[in-house]
Amino acid sequence: MLAALCPIEKSIVQLPAEAGSTLKPILSPPGGYYDQDIQLEITAPRSNAQGSVIFTVDGSVPTHTVGTVYVQPIHLNAATPTVTVIRARAILADG
């Protein structure tokens, strides 16, 4: 999933999951303009899914070798006007 948090327009573009081993995570709050700091939470789409969520904050595609394993909310600062592109992928334990 790609979420662009930007000052001009609200947008979320969902990327397709790959065959069987990945799921689209849920971002909260969703992509859009925020005039205050936010804590972005990323959760797996199924609470019983065994695996992890990997994310990037530079727009690159998260993989097993690229990105950071999500463990806590991501702080996004509204004081710095910028576009932050976050991509996240839930990867199942068998994937």
> What pTM value is reported for the model?
0.70
Q: Of 53 and 21, which is predicted with more confidence? A: 53
Using CA atoms, how far apart are residues 14 and 25, in angstroms rounded to an integer?
10
- What pLDDT is stored for residue 49 in this prediction? 59
What's the pLDDT band for 2 if we cut at 50, 70, 90?
very low
For residue 5, the surrounding DSSP H or E stretch is strand 2-5
Which residues are registered as beta bridge partners of 26?
Answer: 43
Instruction: Report yes or no: 40 and 72 within 8 Å, Cβ to Cβ.
Output: no
- Looking at residue 67, its pLDDT comes to 93
Q: Which helix (H) or strand (E) holds 69?
A: strand 68-69
AA identity, residue 23: L
48 CB contacts (<8 Å, ≥6 apart)?
A: none
